[in-house]
Structure 1
Amino acid sequence: MKTQRPMATEEEHRVVPFRPRNGPARRVTEGGSPPVQLHRREPPTPDLSRYEQPREAPDDFRHRILANIAAIAFTIALTAIGIWLAMSIADLRKTQDCILTGRRDCARIITETYTP
């Protein structure tokens, strides 16, 4: 279905000037456009030295790297265990669904091939 919109006339259109919240209010010239600012100075970056705290000892980078490696290994092991657990639960659910439908050949039979 086609949406029907009323036809807009020229008197209904209106341009609303945009004024930034943080910047100073600029006057609009008679032409309708704001004056051009060629060079705008950025405010100075605040000094963060007042938030620094004196350190008792320098950082031990070797300890930090070993701790990061241990954390990554733990995360990988936890992810692998989670994937294994999800696959085991899915396999058990398939077996349980098979048994609940009344079938008798639901157990997985593992065969070993013998090659002389």
Structure 2
Amino acid sequence: MKTQQPIVSEEEHRVLKFRPRTAAHPLARRGYPAEPALKQDLDREPDDLARYERPRDEPDDFRHRMLANIAAFAFTVALTAVGIWLAMSIADMRKTQDCVLMGRRDCARISTPHF
């Protein structure tokens, strides 16, 4: 048996020269400052979040919020239960359909009373 060798030409193989980055800091080219934070910036106190707070026109209605949370939780539980029931019934129908397509005659479930 004859083995085939790949045809290799000199144009296919090139060595690329690595050029180092010219900036001292890689983020400097993207618009970030290349210098580390100054000492005066480090000594400054962090900004207070109070400037982002908005005054409330109405007081917080805790009871309404809790009722809304309970309703949302009940809806989520009901939706999950319906999804699980739907998935199980689809799987059961698929099993029954596979049984019928195989030509079997005992595919239907017959419920018997338990004594």
Q: Distance in 2 between matches of 1:22 and 1:69?
A: 52
Matched with 2:95 is 94
CA shift at 1:43, angstroms? 4.6
CA shift at 1:51, angstroms? 1.6
SS of match in other structure, 2:113: coil
CA shift at 1:52, angstroms? 1.6
Aligned length: 82
Report the TM-score when normalising by structure 2: 0.61
Q: Distance in 2 between matches of 1:113 and 1:22?
A: 82
Cα displacement string for residues 65-91 of structure 1 (whole angstroms, at most 9, x for unaligned residues)? 111011111101110110000000000
Matched with 1:44 is 45
Q: Distance in 1 between matches of 2:35 and 2:66?
A: 43
Q: 1:56 to 1:24 in 2, by over 3 A?
A: closer
CA shift at 1:24, angstroms? 4.8
Q: How large is the Cα RMSD of the aligned pairs?
A: 2.5
Structure 1 unaligned segments of length 5 or more: list them: 1-20, 26-40
Matched with 1:77 is 78
The structure where helix makes up a greater share of residues is 2
